[in-house]
Amino acid sequence: MRRLRARHVPVIMYHGVCAERVDGILNSEKKHICAEDFERHLKMIKNHCQVIALSRYVESLRSGAPLPPYCAILTFDDGYENNYSVAFPLLKKHAVAATIYVVADFVERGEPLWMDRLAHAFATTRKKRWEDPVSGASYRWETDAQKEAGYRRIKAAMKDLGPRDHAEAMERIMADLDGAGELPPLFAPLKPGQLREMAASGLVEIGSHACRHLLMTTLTSAQARHEAEQSRDRISILTGRRIESFSYPNAAHTPELMVTVERAGYSSAVAEGLRLNAPGASSPYSIFRVALAESDDEAAIDATLCGLRRFLLDAQAVWQGGRH
């Protein structure tokens, strides 16, 4: 499979990297990988691939210039402070390039990401029974696992709300859960000085992850254009550099949004798709990404980077579907 996919490019997606392993609701979806496992990933990725900058890959997509075989790209979403304090030293240690996509309101104004506020509220509420004030659904939590399942369900529902409904629902839910205390350092944003230092390092490229981390597909055309243009301008001022790449929040995008991002002045945009990018087949405005689990061993990482993991998952889905 590696030989067959030698010219396919995996773009790997991370979020946060923390000094110690974090479990429970605060890291329900394992967005924050511990430093020990992240460094292990870096070593394995370098064993199998040549890590290149995203901008080099985009230039290849546009010009048709060939890339060396077995290339890979690292990206981070959101803009957590631990990207600087924990991940950046490891990137420098192993000479690995990366692109960090930051949410403008998060890094410029210090406004916590809505999903982190929600996770913290669920983690700290003392309620054992709760009725969602938005949907009216009732919950009863006897275990942490039950509470975590409730958080995931509410978070999934929140993603599909437009800006006004989203803001109103968040405030009602937050007030009703009555969570306590400030958000933990895990959810702290990057500071402007840290952004500038990484951008000036020659190792890290900075991109935009919109202004508010709302699904672009829930916005009007004007709102989507504002998110793309304003986040680009604001992050450019923070870094002192031109912002070239965009990451669709939660990967939600359409052909119309791809045009919006292009017209906003970006040269590329990343989504998810959990697939490799075939040579010559990817649009610069819909670049696929793959994800690695914190516990992945070398075999699992290699299978992900060559596309075998996705192939087996697709085959399994077809087989299970045929059984029904």
Residue matched to tokens 């202004």: 211
Q: What is the pLDDT of residue 67?
A: 93
Select from 177, 209, 226 the last residue of a domain. Answer: 177
In a domain, 183, yes or no: no
* CA 50/CA 42 separation, integer angstroms: 11
In a domain, 120, yes or no: yes
In a domain, 36, yes or no: yes
CB 179 within 8 A of CB 122: yes
In a domain, 2, yes or no: no
Residue 310: is its pLDDT beyond 90? Answer: no
Structural domain boundaries enclosing 35: 11-111+188-323
- Condensed to tens digits (0 to 9), the pLDDT of residues 281-292 reads 779 999 999 999
Lowest pLDDT segment from 16-20, 127-131, 158-162, 311-315 = 311-315
In a domain, 5, yes or no: no
Q: What is the pLDDT of residue 15?
A: 97
Residue 322: is its pLDDT beyond 80? Answer: no
Q: What is the pLDDT of residue 74?
A: 98
In a domain, 253, yes or no: yes
Q: What is the pLDDT of residue 273?
A: 79
Residue 177: is its pLDDT beyond 80? Answer: yes
Q: What is the CB neighbour count within 10 angstroms for residue 62?
A: 11
Looking at the fold, whether 130 and 170 belong to one and the same domain comes out as yes
**Which phi and psi (to 5°) does residue 51 adopt?**
-80, 125
Q: What is the pLDDT of residue 286?
A: 95
Looking at the fold, whether 74 and 210 belong to one and the same domain comes out as yes
- Average the pLDDT over 247-254 and give the result: 94
* CA 158/CA 170 separation, integer angstroms: 8
Total domains in the chain come to: 2
The CATH number that applies at residue 77 is: 3.20.20.370
For the chain, percent helix, then strand, then coil, each to nearest 5? 50, 15, 35
Residue 254: is its pLDDT beyond 70? Answer: yes
Looking at the fold, whether 59 and 48 belong to one and the same domain comes out as yes
Here the tokens at position 102 are: 């930051």
pLDDT tier for residue 278 given thresholds of 50, 70 and 90: very high
* CA 114/CA 119 separation, integer angstroms: 9
Residue 95: is its pLDDT beyond 80? Answer: yes
Looking at the fold, whether 65 and 162 belong to one and the same domain comes out as no
Q: What is the pLDDT of residue 323?
A: 62
In a domain, 182, yes or no: no
Looking at the fold, whether 71 and 208 belong to one and the same domain comes out as yes
Looking at the fold, whether 205 and 106 belong to one and the same domain comes out as yes
Lowest pLDDT segment from 45-49, 51-55, 204-208 = 45-49
Closest CA to 79 of 202, 221, 222, 243: 243
In a domain, 71, yes or no: yes
* CA 174/CA 134 separation, integer angstroms: 11
Looking at the fold, whether 213 and 255 belong to one and the same domain comes out as yes
Residue 320: C-alpha distances to residues 36, 274, 311, 312, 313 (Å): 36, 20, 14, 12, 10
* CA 279/CA 143 separation, integer angstroms: 48
Looking at the fold, whether 199 and 84 belong to one and the same domain comes out as yes
Select from 154, 177, 200 the last residue of a domain. Answer: 177
- Average the pLDDT over 88-108 and give the result: 98
Looking at the fold, whether 24 and 149 belong to one and the same domain comes out as no
Looking at the fold, whether 244 and 166 belong to one and the same domain comes out as no
Determine the Cα angle at 231 with ends 218 and 243, to 5°.
Answer: 125
Residue matched to tokens 């978070």: 155
Mean pLDDT rounded to a whole number for the chain: 94
- Average the pLDDT over 227-255 and give the result: 96
Lowest pLDDT segment from 35-44, 93-102, 176-185, 219-228 = 176-185
Select from 157, 177, 197 the last residue of a domain. Answer: 177
Residue 324: is its pLDDT beyond 70? Answer: no
Q: What is the pLDDT of residue 244?
A: 97
DSSP 43-106: HHHHHH-EE--HHHHHHHHHH-----SSEEEEEEEE-BTHIIIIIHHHHHHTT--EEEEE-HHH
Looking at the fold, whether 192 and 317 belong to one and the same domain comes out as yes
Here the tokens at position 14 are: 């991370």
- Average the pLDDT over 307-324 and give the result: 82
Q: What is the pLDDT of residue 163?
A: 94
- Average the pLDDT over 57-85 and give the result: 95
What DSSP designation does 128 have?
Answer: S
Looking at the fold, whether 167 and 225 belong to one and the same domain comes out as no
